[in-house]
Structure 1
Amino acid sequence: RDLLLERGVTTPVQVIPTGVYVERFAAGDRNAARRRWELPADAFVVGHMGRLAEEKNIGFLADAVAAFLAGAGDRYFLVVGSGDAEADLVERFRAAGLAERLVCSGVLEGQALADAMNAMDVFAFASQSETQGMVLTEAMAAGLPVVGLDAPGVREVVRDRHNGRLVATASPAAFADALGWVHDRLAAGEDGLAASARETAEAFSMARSAAAAVACYRELQRSSDAGRAEQDDLWDQVRNRIRAELEILSSLTAAGDGALEESQRER
């Protein structure tokens, strides 16, 4: 929206996000997923889901999460997805001596995906090239606070210290600190982050987005109807004026005919 306005678009712009089926991600089985991927029940799990590609800043994410995991032995990284950058991700964790605490599940769908999302405690996202943050709202539907770099598609969803952390400094150390901030609050039993994440997900739900789209179309219809009515009124005014002119011309013609007939009789 801001970009369109900056480029001189004057037509009213309404932003309607792609909706998320919140109920699908809210219904995951945390314990089942942790058993499947051999994650300890009491572990703190950082999660990520998406295409593992260089443009998604996966190398940065690997370094930042590895720095956080190095702080304690009960921390793990669950990665859902696949892509060309997966090998580099695995190698970075191996070099950091943390290979055993990285779990790559590959691509998951349906209930398996919902289960994996619910097995996480916080969602980490380092991409700086998103057009919209659908994966973030899906994570929040599972009750996950999100830690992400301050970038387009992220800042529209993440509110710093409300439903996660928005990291302004693009350094692995700053990102790791933000993960630590979330960890400490969850460890202290604070549930405000998770509750706020769910509220955010609801605001981006499919039902809300569909309702917003319908409302937008109805407003366009009302505006169109109003414009059509205004145009009809204008045509009515034109027709009335033409009718009045014709009546005047008709009267003048009748008067002229009468005068001509009278003149002929006098002759």
Structure 2
Amino acid sequence: MKYASFTAANGSPTWGVVVGGTAFDLGPSGADLAPTMRAAVEEGIFGSVTEEQYIAAPAAPEADIEFLPAVTNPGKIICIGVNYKTHQEESGKTGQTAPTVFTRFADTQMGHLAPAIMPRSTTKFDYEGEMALVIGKEAWHVAEEDAWDHIAGYGAYNDFSVRDWQKAASQWIPGKNFPSTGAFGPYLVPAADLGSTDALTLETRVNGETRQKASVADLYFPIPELISYVTGFTRLSPGDVIVTGTPGGVGLFWGEGGLLSEGDVVEVEITGLGTLRNTVELEN
């Protein structure tokens, strides 16, 4: 089943399930099962909603809803850099012995179909198609063999990057935290519904042209290792997000015309998780 966060008919943020092209409101403005997607994860509701629970909830055609980030208010967003060998090779960052980690702020996120805002202070706006996972229970010093039990679900992510700000110093945080540059969605799919992530393919397209394509099995540091490493230095809570890394083919290394311009449409499609689509707009 696909879950999503979106704007309710009364204009308030809510969450629910999307079934057969219809979005059912399970938040305070609807069935009131939990106030947010994060709360649904915390309370163990996410992944267990039944037809009996959602069928009587207020509903709207999926095409009519305004998507919000799949998890609108995560306590932490931990991003992993250069975590596919193809991206390591194109960027010259091979031979890693530990994951490259940076943080993204929750208020920089946006949803499916929302504009990706290109800052006026950059000439190097880029895409990074990735798969994100959401933590399902308290996680601290998690062993690799126990990592899968701590995942609530997965979604597509586009870590839009402001490369000149990112490259200005050794720390990447400024280039990764401009407003409306962290796209997350359209859906959050329960881990139990998805099966093995090794069977998933990630593809990023710009104006219909495939720029990135890789199997999630090609992660340099696999998901269990990432969870174990991250929880070795910070405690994760339900609703927290780990963005697992991007394959080779980012615009910076694509060649002439690889970077993004106003009006470009960027899609990140992952098997079973849907297609996340955003159009680049220039900052007002």
Structure number with bigger Rg: 1
Task: Tell me which protein shows more strand as a share of its residues.
Answer: 2
State TM-score, norm by structure 1. Answer: 0.26
TM-score computed with the length of structure 2 as normaliser:
0.25
Q: Higher relative contact order by CA 8 Å / sep ≥ 6: 1 or 2?
A: 2
